[in-house]
A and B are shown apart, each in its own frame.
Chain A
Amino acid sequence: MSVLIYAESENGQLKKIALELASFGKAIADQLNTNLVAVTINCENNDLLGNYGVNEVLAASQQGDFNAQQYAATLSEAAKSIGAHTIAVSSSADSRFLAPLVAVTLDAGYVTNVVGAPISSNPFQVKRSVFTNKAFSVCEIATEVKMVGLSKNAFGVHENQTTATITNFSPASAASDMKVTALDKATDTVTIADAEIVVSGGRGLKGPENWHLIEDLADTLGAATACSKPVSDMGWRPHSEHVGQTGKPVASNLYIAIGVSGAIQHLAGINSSKVKVVINNDPEAPFFKAADYGVVGDAFEVVPKMIEKLKSFQAENA
């Protein structure tokens, strides 16, 4: 009956989303009056999960790079071995890759983009975002085994001190004829998916030569950089930075939009960011209606000032 989560790690260390997922899993386990089990793969700091309410860790090790088929097989086997009826995953690219495979294997009803703990556990109802963050829906999962995917930053990280027992888990090896032949992962920059703060630039920046403004502000804040769709369409920035309805979703704590008008398709992708700041020289820009804080002014004057003021603020508060 346990609740099972897949706690993702990278380079042997749990990701922050794994701790958020554990916190979320704990809330479900409490509702169902059961314990919380986590599966990890190639993770070295499993103990940490005990701080977030995990009672047991099934620690698997697997050869080679991430492989969705093999990881999905491990998670499915773990779910079967402990008889888990509720499985929670995060919404990282990897988890969203493997989760549908698990759902089919376990014949589980699966709901993604869940924004909070279940509304009720019997019937099992959750709230999820739909229409690219323009609305929510309440969904009911009717299958015996239920699967939920937690939206990033929707639940937060909450401590729940327990001691997790750690058991080695050796799944039967699953064959896969898919092979990773090249990996190109930025190691020194913050990614949009992981970032607490995202600084985004639009067409108002006039050209790629001005992007040092966005990058300097992002560096000062330890933030990821992003852009509007036309900016990536024109090749000013890589398309991996394009956020919005047809780009990446942003669910950061702070989103700073500079020279972005705030078209409905852009807003759809960033709606679930908690606090939005807009810098735009047009007071009529639609983004001001969706923002928490705004500065009506010229980005080329406001942004350098902001970087300077932030640096002195950080020096004072260091």
Chain B
Amino acid sequence: MKILVCISHVPDTTSKINFVENDTQFDTQGVQFIINPNDEFGLTRAMWFKEKSGASVDVINVGGPETEATLRKALAIGADNAIRVNTAARDAQQVAKEIVTVMQQNSYDLVIAGRESIDYNGGMVPGMIAALKGMNYLNNCIGLEIEGSQATAIREMDGGKETVTTPLPLVIGAQKGLVEESDLRIPNMRGIMMARKKPLTVVEPTQEGQQVQTISFEKPAPKGAVKLVDPENIDELISLLHNEAKVI
């Protein structure tokens, strides 16, 4: 089985979000970049397939040279090959189309992306890859087993979950639950040393044009100070929630 894991290179979850150049660019100064957490759950699941059934695991990112450290980390966790499409990510369809172009050269049985990236929060790339390639797709995936060419996957939906059977090839949007937090792997020294020798192929982009353009950014308006209520006076809290906030 051949697996492709899509890796988005995102600011660490503790990052302060600021903008520069007239609020048109994200300020990367002092920001640590990581593998998008949802992608890391997916990558870990891919490692299990590799260990159990000898699957090969490629990772891919559409982005500039700055994302290579993130791809190397994925290699250190255990991926076999990394591919970087050498262009800035402009919008979801462009990213999906670049990934599909790479998939034309290597056919994959399973493509794992994250449910959503924590920077753009689009939740779009995996579905678009599936639609462009005519593959089956499942979002919010919290369980996946593969038997031959048939997959059984669990999808979380609002207020519950469903189990779905589908033939391969398949694209999933991974999230926590596919593996647990405690299953995530911190690369060890051996992994890091091996990652240096693994192939990281840079391919040139094929897509032009842009459907969606980010014009500017803004930060939320600062919040007013909290109103503290004495624990001995919970009636006041209820009255504030009823009369002032009008939420109960």
Contacts and interface: CB of A to CB of B under 8 A. Distances in A.
Interface of A: 65, 68-69, 72, 92-94, 96-101, 103-105, 108-113, 125, 129-143, 176-186, 189, 191, 193-194, 196-197, 221, 229, 233, 239-240, 242, 245-247, 253-254, 264-265, 268, 271, 274-275, 277-278, 288-298, 301-302, 305-306, 309-310, 313, 317
20 contacts: A93-B140, A94-B158, A99-B124, A100-B125, A101-B127, A103-B131, A108-B211, A110-B211, A112-B123, A178-B164, A182-B163, A184-B162, A186-B159, A239-B177, A245-B13, A274-B247, A292-B227, A293-B228, A309-B234, A310-B248
Given A72-B131, A178-B164, 19 more contacts: A92-B158, A96-B123, A97-B155, A100-B127, A110-B124, A112-B122, A130-B119, A135-B218, A137-B214, A137-B215, A177-B166, A178-B165, A179-B164, A240-B161, A245-B118, A254-B241, A289-B223, A294-B226, A297-B231
Contacts of B247: 196-197, 253-254, 274-275
Contact of A292 (B210, B238, B245, B248): B245
Contacts of A109: 91, 93, 211-212
B187 to A, nearest CB: 20
B160 interface: yes
Contacts of B37: 245-246
A139 B212 contact: yes
Nearest to A113: B121
A275 B243 CA distance: 13
Contacts, number: 252
A140 B242 CA distance: 39
A140 B13 contact: no
Contact of A254 (B138, B211, B245): B245
B52 interface: no
Main SS at interface, chain B: mixed
Contacts of A221: 248
A177 B234 contact: no
A180 B128 contact: no
B136 interface: yes
Interface string B212-237: 11111111100110111111001101
B20 interface: no
Contacts of B212: 109-111, 139-142
B50 to A, nearest CB: 24
A104 B132 contact: yes
Nearest to A253: B247
Interface string B153-192: 0011111111111110000000011001110000000000
Contacts of B8: none
Interface of B: 11, 13-14, 17, 19, 37-38, 91-93, 96, 118-128, 130-132, 136-140, 142, 152, 155-167, 176-177, 180-182, 210-220, 223-224, 226-231, 234-235, 237-238, 240-242, 245, 247-248
A200 B88 CA distance: 39
A295 B122 CA distance: 36
A288 B224 CA distance: 11
B226 A138 contact: no
Q: Which of A110, A113, A133 has the most CB of B within 10 A?
A: A110
B241 A142 contact: no
Given A110-B124, A265-B14, A139 B213 contact: yes
A276 B124 CA distance: 30
B134 to A, nearest CB: 10
Among A97, A185, A265, chain B packs the most CB atoms within 10 A around the CB of: A97
Contacts of B92: 100, 110
Contacts of B156: 93, 240
A93 to B, nearest CB: 4
Contacts of A135: 17, 19, 217-220
B131 A239 contact: no
A112 B117 CA distance: 12
A104 B214 CA distance: 20
A98 B127 CA distance: 8
B11 A131 contact: yes
A100 B215 contact: no
Given A131-B11, A182-B163, A104 B128 contact: yes
A132 B17 CA distance: 10
B200 to A, nearest CB: 27
B215 A194 contact: no
A302 B37 CA distance: 35
A181 B121 contact: no
A232 B101 CA distance: 39
Contact of B159 (A97, A108, A194, A246): A194
